[in-house]
Amino acid sequence: MPSEKAFVFSVLLITNTKLMNTEALKNSLRDSVVTRWAMLFTVGFVLAANYYFYDALSPLKSTLTRELGFDSTDFGLFVSVYSVPNVFLLMAVFGGVILDKLGIRRTGFMFIAFMALGALLTAYGASDMYRNEGLGYAFMSSFMPGYSPELKMMLLGRFLFGLGAETSIVVISKIIVKWFKGKELALAFGVKLGLARTGSMLALMLSPRLINSEAGWTVATWFAAFFVTTALLVFLIYMMFDLKLDKQVEKSTLESKSDPFKFSDLGKLITNRSFIFVTLLCLTFYSAVFPFFAFSADFFKNKFGLTEIQSGDIAAMMPLGTMLFTPIFGFFVDKYGKAASLMIYGSLILTIVHLTFAFTTVTPYVMMVVLGLAFSLVPAAMWPSVAKMIDEKRIGSAYGFMFSVQNLGLWAFPILAGMILDGTNPVGTESLDYTYTMIMFSGLGIVGFIFALLLKREDKVSGYGLELPSNSK
């Protein structure tokens, strides 16, 4: 019968197409171990440049005071302005939404370009060229006389850098999910973070050495800015591979584009209790780490009477530790799970380290490595856990939302740390007392610990399987 034949023919056709699609999927670029790890190292370079620039001026706090007249509050303001676009303009949220809408290539390029522009402007603001009545100097001198024209130009640069930097991290997180979901996802996140921390470590070690260059201390800021500009070029290489993968996957799976973004999606995020606890842990934990890290070299210099180079080297112990530990914990999470428990241990260790810094003189070399342990446990477990709670199509918006909330802390706590320092140390004090600042960071650690406990308890109800290995979910 013709209708029967037609039915059998269509069943055969569908089965055959499905088989072909599965075959093509198997052979897509992401299935080549070498290619997907090469992609990770390519975007890891962009991340390393991002983190390098973020930390490049941290070991130069006293140089900024000497050369540009910054006090601790100015320095805190400079560190925190990075977060202003992400908190007050919700740039990381919009960046995530734009990412889910426009895709990885266009969003990535646009936001890394912002990073490069911001980095170049910051270096320009500190340069002799600008300070000798260069372009924009007169304008920056014409308002808010309480703030120097150098500080204002550098704030503008860091604002633009922050606007690009956070969204570019969201883009890179989505890239990792795209290439590694269902494979060694947590390990990939661990290596990605290890590469990012390489940037921080290099910044802490190189910047205090570059300020002694014959061409002057600003070599340190220009070097950082050119590193970021190179990252923009490196991202172009990634874009070519991303395009190729999309063509393969489109052909083979007839996969629909991601659904258009709806604001109700944000509503879904903020009513997901596990997501809320992980976001609040992200806010408190990172507020106790990054703002502390920005002041850490100056803290060691003041508390232990060290030079700029020695203090930078000690501060660099923390990212050095994380470069080793984060991939190991990532591997552990993939294989054995226990992500929620690792976040609890990480928060506890963080609190103990800060209390030790506040009240003892235990050698900072050891404590910074221990801090590196805490700073590996939580990130290695946290970021892949989000991919278990949230659908891949919404992962950009989810990471963007978390980053915006986290940036509230990265904005407020450097300013608070600077104000506490200026407030508890009379003007002209030879060595700054950091005790109260460290108590503030310890308090954040304790609150983070509570959110980590709540997250683990909630996981038993929600069933996302945070305690289970990666491929079992």
Q: Where do contacts with ligand LYPLPQDE occur on this chain (CB under 6 A)?
A: 51, 54, 166, 169, 193, 196, 286, 290, 379, 403, 406
Q: Which of residues 185 and 193 has its CB atom nearest to ligand LYPLPQDE in the complex?
A: 193
Amino acid at 431: S
Q: Which of residues 299 and 403 has its CB atom nearest to ligand LYPLPQDE in the complex?
A: 403
- CA 21 to CA 43: how far, in whole Å? 28
Q: Which of residues 230 and 363 has its CB atom nearest to ligand LYPLPQDE in the complex?
A: 230
Smallest gap from Cβ 39 to ligand LYPLPQDE, in A, equals 19
Smallest gap from Cβ 96 to ligand LYPLPQDE, in A, equals 11
- CA 33 to CA 52: how far, in whole Å? 28
Smallest gap from Cβ 290 to ligand LYPLPQDE, in A, equals 5
Smallest gap from Cβ 393 to ligand LYPLPQDE, in A, equals 21
Q: Which residues have CB under 8 Å from 71's CB, separation 6+?
A: 65, 418, 422
Instruction: Decide: 417 and 437 in contact? Cβ < 8 Å.
Output: yes
Q: Which residues have CB under 8 Å from 188's CB, separation 6+?
A: 36, 40, 176, 179, 180, 330
- CA 268 to CA 282: how far, in whole Å? 19
Smallest gap from Cβ 169 to ligand LYPLPQDE, in A, equals 5
Q: Which of residues 364 and 379 has its CB atom nearest to ligand LYPLPQDE in the complex?
A: 379
Q: Which of residues 137 and 403 has its CB atom nearest to ligand LYPLPQDE in the complex?
A: 403
Instruction: Decide: 136 and 130 in contact? Cβ < 8 Å.
Output: yes
Which spans in 211-262 are helix H? 219-253
Q: Which of residues 137 and 375 has its CB atom nearest to ligand LYPLPQDE in the complex?
A: 375
Smallest gap from Cβ 204 to ligand LYPLPQDE, in A, equals 13
Q: Which of residues 75 and 130 has its CB atom nearest to ligand LYPLPQDE in the complex?
A: 75
Smallest gap from Cβ 16 to ligand LYPLPQDE, in A, equals 45
The number of beta carbons lying within 10 Å of the beta carbon of residue 89 is: 13
Q: Which residues have CB under 8 Å from 469's CB, separation 6+?
A: 333, 334, 335, 336, 337
